[in-house]
A and B are shown apart, each in its own frame.
Chain A
Amino acid sequence: MDFTLASFVNALILGLSIGSIFLVAALGLTIIYGTAGVINMAHGEFIMLGAYASYTLQNYLGVPFFLCIPLSFVVVALIGLVIERLLIRYLYDRPLDTLLATWGVSLVLMQGVRLIFGSDPKYIQMPSFLSTNIAAGPISVSIFRVFIFLVGIGLVAAVWWLFYKTEFGIKLRAVTQNKEMAASFGINSGQVYALTFALGAGLAGIAGSLFGVLNIVLPTMGMGYVVEAFLIVVTGGGALLGSILASGVTGEAQSIFAYIFNDTFAQFLVFVLIVIFLRFRPQGLIATGGARR
């Protein structure tokens, strides 16, 4: 392998892109975990549903790609809402059981999609201008990766605005900090949790419609994302800022290791490093006030 400066800069840029993909994948999970403490193992399948929603909208109804993204949000958010009302809300005080139940949900969703759409890969088309590369000398980036990066920034900004600038955000933070106290101020924590869960699911839906373009759409595509997304949340410590930092760091690490070794070994190395990191800092990069573990 030739260690030229250009190829190294390319690796750094790719790392940024990988980080933004991690972040988009982990955003919904961070919100659900950070607010309600729910470990949602079906998060990967929510991403998968987002991809299938986009695929269906595009292929059967001819909806343009840019419209598919927000519509996937709506579809998956609604599915998330239903699941929260039917199942999750009974399990808020049983974290291990929530994990297991959502795992069951993930199994059912994956299998349901397989029964409806089959196991063969599907493809989401993107507008042609997104499929080109921008090049500056020896450095080149695909426009679609830049697009994901920008969407990532946009989503973070939107979530931040929602959390800190709206009435819902105030309620949400109140419930996160102290459920009983919030209840005494007349805040319906059940409602807040339900909406948060739907929001987190919807964000996974957006991730799905993007990842469906990046990779092929398969019923099993969620499996890979959920572990990575969780590592981001755990490494970050559960807060929004933590997840942003953690995705940046792991994205870069992954890209640089891949540059030195190869992709799979890079992934292995990153996982091992996270384990060692957690040994010394179990609360994650940014410790959230009330430690949940």
Chain B
Amino acid sequence: MEKNLYHNRLLQWLVYVVFFAALAVIPLVMDDAFLLNQLATYGVYGMLALSISLCWGFGGILNLGQGIAFGLGAYGMAMTMQMQTQDPEYSPIPPFMLNNGLDALPAIWEPFWNTGFGIALALIVPTVFYLIFGGLMFQARVAGPFFAIMTLAILSALATLFVDLQPYTNGVNGISPPAALDIGGFVIDPYMSTSYWVVFALLVLSTVAAKLLTQSRFGLIVQALHNDSERVRFLGYNVAIYETLVYAASGLIAAIAGCCFAFLTQYVSPAQFDVGFSISMVIWAAIGGRNSLLWAIIGAFLVQGAQSYVGDEFLNSWILILGFSFILIVRFLPGGLGGLAETLLGMVSRKRETQESLTVGAGEPETRGA
């Protein structure tokens, strides 16, 4: 019987602990505020890669429009932060609206007076959007490449809509709230280690939640329908609901990432809906390894880290290299770096097994989506 250490559940959790412990050490040994802010942004990218891995690698639903949830989340958070700096008495309307000729606060902005309400909306709106859109598509059994293209279409439609609604969204210029996010007195200053800790905590939280989801019965059924969705129907499961929920769960994570992005950069614009950015998310997950939540996060760190290392000067050549590596990965290494690790560990485990004729591991069945 084949036993690969890579598939050992206990070991997987152990690796997660080590990985996050390493991330937790960083702010203790480094006090460059600017760098810490940048690292926190990587955490946001990590969350996005995680969400792609959950949806695509685990659920088999290729999602090229993850910017939808990311952008909606970021806008929701930026609107909340903007309203924190307004005063109901003296300056009830954000300046850009005045410049755009509005003389009253639009109704859709009203709920954002309340910070809790605003943040809740920033998470609920994208998730509900995913539930509705995903529900429509999956019930019609639109799947595979077609679904991917529809997500892309919706993404670009949203981007044009947000540019178009200039008075409400400030168009291409976007919204730049003048002050840091303040949650009941707890200020998340983007250039203090607090912001790093908040992003870190949310990354850990979403990773653990996603991991638990993959290990639940829900996760098992999703694995099955990734394999053969037709067959799952005949076992009595409503496939469309499962698909919609995986998609929406990944959307929720992306929305959280969007919120973090907004308070880290104090800025949001239609660039968050950029098709190119959503492509990047898929590339991170593909290079790191789409079948593994953790490796997808590592993929985001590696690619974005390398990108800022080569700097803006060589950005063009860098993107060219990235494009080529993406093609090569798809063609020759569909599992990405994680897949490579899986193969190597498999070889090591087998060797050890034959040498010592011992069974390794705690006897848990192997799982995909490590």
A and B touch in the complex (CB under 8 A): yes
Which A residue's beta carbon lies closest to that of B152? Answer: A227
Q: Does B334 contact A (CB under 8 A)?
A: yes
The answer to whether B137 and A105 have CB atoms under 8 Å apart is: no
- List the 3 closest A-B pairs by CB distance, nearest first: A107-B323, A104-B327, A264-B164
Per a CB cutoff under 8 Å, which of B137, B316, B327 touches A101?
Answer: B327
Q: Does A121 contact B (CB under 8 A)?
A: no
The answer to whether B323 and A104 have CB atoms under 8 Å apart is: yes
Interface size class of A (residues with CB under 8 A): 35 or more
In Å, the complex CA distance between A272 and B143 comes to 18
In Å, the complex CA distance between A114 and B318 comes to 12
Per a CB cutoff under 8 Å, which of B141, B150, B164, B319 touches A111?
Answer: B319
Choose the segment among B25-33, B155-163, B174-182, B292-300 that binds chain A (4+ C-beta atoms closer than 8 Å): B155-163
The answer to whether B145 and A96 have CB atoms under 8 Å apart is: yes
Which A residue's beta carbon lies closest to that of B138? Answer: A279
The answer to whether A91 and B331 have CB atoms under 8 Å apart is: yes
Query: How many Å from the CB of A115 to the closest CB on chain B?
Result: 6
User: Counting chain A CB atoms within 10 Å of each CB, which of B145, B156, B164, B320 scores highest?
Assistant: B145
Please, which residues of chain B bring their CB within 8 A of the CB of A96?
A: 62, 144-145, 148
Name the prevailing secondary structure of the B interface residues. helix
The answer to whether A97 and B320 have CB atoms under 8 Å apart is: no
State whether A99 and B323 are in contact (beta carbons under 8 Å apart), knowing that A264-B161, A264-B164, A278-B142 are contacts in the complex: no
The answer to whether B145 and A39 have CB atoms under 8 Å apart is: yes
The answer to whether A272 and B145 have CB atoms under 8 Å apart is: no
Which B residue's beta carbon lies closest to that of A105? Answer: B327
Per a CB cutoff under 8 Å, which of A39, A114, A267 touches B316?
Answer: A114
Query: Could you mark each residue 326-353 of chain B with 1 if its beta carbon is under 8 Å from any beta carbon of chain A, else 0?
Result: 1100110010000000000000000000
A selection of 25 A-B contacts at a CB cut-off of 8 Å is A91-B331, A96-B144, A97-B330, A97-B334, A100-B330, A104-B326, A105-B323, A107-B319, A108-B320, A111-B320, A115-B316, A115-B317, A234-B150, A264-B164, A265-B161, A267-B157, A268-B161, A275-B133, A275-B137, A278-B142, A278-B146, A278-B150, A282-B140, A282-B141, A293-B141
Q: Does B117 contact A (CB under 8 A)?
A: no
User: Counting chain B CB atoms within 10 Å of each CB, which of A87, A276, A293 scores highest?
Assistant: A293
In Å, the complex CA distance between A180 and B220 comes to 36
In Å, the complex CA distance between A111 and B279 comes to 14
Which B residue's beta carbon lies closest to that of A109? Answer: B323
Please, which residues of chain B bring their CB within 8 A of the CB of A227?
A: 149, 152-153, 156, 275
User: Counting chain B CB atoms within 10 Å of each CB, which of A95, A103, A231 scores highest?
Assistant: A103
Query: Could you mark each residue 219-254 of chain A with 1 if its beta carbon is under 8 Å from any beta carbon of chain B, else 0?
Result: 000011001001100100000000000000000000
The answer to whether A267 and B160 have CB atoms under 8 Å apart is: yes
Please, which residues of chain B bring their CB within 8 A of the CB of A234?
A: 146, 149-150
Please, which residues of chain A bring their CB within 8 A of the CB of B142?
A: 278, 282, 293
The answer to whether B330 and A104 have CB atoms under 8 Å apart is: yes
The answer to whether B157 and A293 have CB atoms under 8 Å apart is: no
Q: Does B154 contact A (CB under 8 A)?
A: yes
Please, which residues of chain B bring their CB within 8 A of the CB of A64?
A: none
In Å, the complex CA distance between A103 and B320 comes to 13
Please, which residues of chain B bring their CB within 8 A of the CB of A264?
A: 160-161, 163-164
B residues contacting A by CB (< 8 A) are: 62, 133, 136-137, 139-146, 148-150, 152-154, 156-158, 160-161, 163-164, 275-276, 279, 282, 286, 316-317, 319-320, 322-324, 326-327, 330-331, 334
Q: Does A112 contact B (CB under 8 A)?
A: yes
Query: How many Å from the CB of A275 to the closest CB on chain B?
Result: 6
Query: How many Å from the CB of A276 to the closest CB on chain B?
Result: 7
Q: Does A90 contact B (CB under 8 A)?
A: yes
The answer to whether A39 and B149 have CB atoms under 8 Å apart is: yes
State whether A231 and B153 are in contact (beta carbons under 8 Å apart), knowing that A105-B327, A267-B160, A282-B142 are contacts in the complex: yes
Query: Which residues in window 72-114 of A have CB below 8 A to B?
Result: 87, 90-91, 95-97, 99-101, 103-105, 107-108, 111-112, 114
Per a CB cutoff under 8 Å, which of A100, A114, A276 touches B136?
Answer: A276
In Å, the complex CA distance between A138 and B124 comes to 50
